[in-house]
Chain A
């Protein structure tokens, strides 16, 4: 895989997170009702950052959760690689709350569809909103994000790679091109 361009560096990632956090607080006046829910894997780290940032701004921790959407996927039997199942954990009842779903890259929208199905099995949120660090287009479902770090037009043969220091050692977003052959 060849790296084509760096879209966000460490500073860019941090700025995007801070801005998304402010926007979430601006849109949702009842701060106590907000639950930040990250979608595994990278969405979890982004969600933790957003939750931290909101805590820094308001002084109060907001409710938090993690979703593993594997069991809700519509392509489980077709995908080449068996996904590894991980824990889903939401630390409060989401009924009546404003759930902000968080994922690193918004692409086809199928992951978000799975996540919404799963959320609704956990309770009946008053509102579900969506935050993504990168929106790369190519939607296959009528889904859009409420909060976007950066809109990046991409080609289908490109891959958007989001790195977080918690797992990858550094914060950055790059576009790679799939090499031919494999």
Chain B
């Protein structure tokens, strides 16, 4: 009668998770979430990952809802991932890109948003070049807004999928050491990861050339180093950011080759790190700039798993914002 063992650990876990309820209509950044809310998203993502493994990878949960992808900046992964997440939940999806839309005629973000609301859509997933764009939009609208990256501010779903992937590999992440390497100053991925990881009790180190470390970053509770070997030494996981050549980073480092020499994650450097170090990258990768191709495709890399997990995490976010417990009027 093994199956009947009293009070399984699973039962107590359920009880804990029940204490967190999602009440927010939007997901704007990890800075604004509690530890419990972050855990709630990740816990739900686990269930959605299971949905993606079913013979029929679709559930009827958001049938009749419409999700709009409003992208002012280029994206492949995030846009496709949100689109798939919405479709797997049976929502209708519309994608609006800057090119070919009224954005080119000069319509403001708020006006576009209000029109989308008037068109009776339910969730806007927005990516914008200006920090704070998602927050501004969320305040102006009654429908849900999900931040898919705003300027240098936050990219919450990317950090959530990074953390989800880390949890899959290590189960307990509290007390782990994670190093974030690259253009910290201009990276919304770095900022969201810092908020999320520190809230979950992970020790975070950021590593970059001095010019790419924003002043006062230690105040977020992270250690700072300018030495890649130092960042690799104690790390259980390393999250390597893309060098963002499209943003003005001239003068920060002499050349791509120079950056690779001093900060690039190579097989050589990895040999000195923990054997089972987890290597992450939010993509798209500049092979031979921030990371050697062999490392990106190597045994420690979980980069493709991150991409797969992104769908589950975004399903969880879309599900939670659309079933948010409504505040009493």
Q: Which of B43-62 contact A (CB under 8 A)?
A: 43-44, 46-48, 50-51, 54-56, 58-61
Asked if B141 lies at the interface with its beta carbon under 8 angstroms from chain A, I say no
Hey, which chain B residues are within 8 Å of A87, CB to CB? 46-47, 50
What is the bound-complex CA distance between A36 and B55, given in angstroms?
19
Q: Is the CB of A82 within 8 A of B50?
A: no
Hey, which chain A residues are within 8 Å of B325, CB to CB? 80-82
A96 CB → nearest B CB, Å: 14
Hey, which chain A residues are within 8 Å of B22, CB to CB? 82
Asked if B105 lies at the interface with its beta carbon under 8 angstroms from chain A, I say no
Nearest chain-B residue to A93 (Cβ)? B55
Asked if B323 lies at the interface with its beta carbon under 8 angstroms from chain A, I say yes
Q: Which of A69-83 contact B (CB under 8 A)?
A: 70-72, 76-77, 80-82
What is the bound-complex CA distance between A80 and B328, given in angstroms?
10
Asked if A161 lies at the interface with its beta carbon under 8 angstroms from chain B, I say no
Hey, which chain A residues are within 8 Å of B4, CB to CB? 48-49, 52, 165-166
What is the bound-complex CA distance between A23 and B326, given in angstroms?
45
B168 CB → nearest A CB, Å: 14
Most buried by B among A49, A51, A82, A122: A82
What is the bound-complex CA distance between A85 and B61, given in angstroms?
12
Q: Is the CB of B14 within 8 A of A166?
A: no
What is the bound-complex CA distance between A121 and B322, given in angstroms?
23
B230 CB → nearest A CB, Å: 41
What is the bound-complex CA distance between A10 and B248, given in angstroms?
72
Hey, which chain A residues are within 8 Å of B14, CB to CB? 41, 84, 86
Hey, which chain A residues are within 8 Å of B5, CB to CB? 166
Q: Which of B5-45 contact A (CB under 8 A)?
A: 5-8, 11, 14, 17-18, 21-22, 43-44
Asked if B215 lies at the interface with its beta carbon under 8 angstroms from chain A, I say no
Known interface pairs A52-B1, A117-B60; A86-B47 also in contact (CB < 8 Å): yes
Taking residues whose C-beta sits less than 8 angstroms from the other chain, chain A's interface range is 20 to 34
A21 CB → nearest B CB, Å: 14
Asked if A135 lies at the interface with its beta carbon under 8 angstroms from chain B, I say no
Asked if B324 lies at the interface with its beta carbon under 8 angstroms from chain A, I say yes
What is the bound-complex CA distance between A52 and B48, given in angstroms?
29
Nearest chain-B residue to A167 (Cβ)? B11
A contact residues vs B (CB 8 Å cutoff): 41, 48-49, 51-52, 68, 70-72, 76-77, 80-82, 84-89, 117-118, 121-123, 165-167, 169
B contact residues vs A (CB 8 Å cutoff): 1, 3-8, 11, 14, 17-18, 21-22, 43-44, 46-48, 50-51, 54-56, 58-61, 89, 319-320, 322-325
Q: A51-B3, A88-B47, A169-B6 are in contact. List 17 more A-B contacts (CB 8 A).
A: A48-B3, A71-B61, A71-B319, A72-B60, A82-B21, A82-B22, A82-B320, A85-B44, A86-B47, A87-B46, A88-B51, A89-B50, A121-B58, A122-B54, A165-B6, A166-B4, A167-B7
8 tightest Cβ-Cβ pairs between the two chains A and B: A71-B59, A85-B47, A71-B61, A121-B56, A48-B3, A85-B44, A167-B11, A82-B325
